[in-house]
Amino acid sequence: MKTVDYLDAIRRKYNCSDYRAAQLLEVTKQTVSHYRKGGSFSEGAAIKAAQLLELDPAEVLIATQAERIKHREARQILEKLAKGLHRGAAAGLVLAAPFVFAAWAVHEVCILCQIGRARHLQSVTTLPVI
């Protein structure tokens, strides 16, 4: 599911407007409007949505992260995980987690992370040997 699907589910469950859904999620109406235009939940809003919908927070968090990932294969892996969690297959998370994080590490590293990693590697390799 996508953020807008969770948002619609909240509106159906609580029979409310976007304004009331924003209050329930503890975000602004403008934030809900952003979700409607294709934005994704923040981590806090994802957890709150899971609580409101009585879902496993991991499912909503993983689905939210999947929306943000541009690499098709990595996104599909996360979407599959979220669907598995929706069906109660928490063990799938344990089995697939290394592959998901490997996909992120290879394909979805921001430039700041790359710079930080390079600095870290540089500091590790320049430590004196005692």
Does 7 reside within a domain?
A: yes
Does 130 reside within a domain?
A: no
User: In this predicted model, what pLDDT tens digit does every residue of 51-109 receive, in sequence order?
Assistant: 999 999 988 988 888 888 888 887 788 778 777 766 655 444 444 454 445 444 444 44
pLDDT of res. 5: 95
Residue 23 scores a pLDDT above 90: yes
How many domains are contained in the chain? 1
Distance, CA of 28 to chain centre: 20
Residue 108 has phi, psi (to 5 degrees) of: -130, 60
pLDDT of res. 76: 82
**What span, in angstroms and rounded, lies between the C-alpha atoms of 27 and 36?**
13
Does 108 reside within a domain?
A: yes
Residue with the bigger pLDDT between 39 and 81: it is 39
Does 77 reside within a domain?
A: yes
Which domain does 104 fall in, by range? Answer: 3-125
Residue with the bigger pLDDT between 126 and 54: it is 54
Does 68 reside within a domain?
A: yes
Task: Say what the pTM is.
Answer: 0.62
Does 27 reside within a domain?
A: yes
**Do residues 102 and 90 make contact, with C-beta atoms less than 8 angstroms apart?**
no
Does 80 reside within a domain?
A: yes
What number is the average pLDDT over the span 16-31? 96
Residue with the bigger pLDDT between 33 and 85: it is 33
**Per-residue 3-state assignment (H helix, E strand, C coil) for 11-78:** HHHHCCCHHHHHHHHCCCHHHHHHHHCCCCCCHHHHHHHHHHHCCCHHHHHHHHHHHHCCCHHHHHHH
pLDDT of res. 115: 52
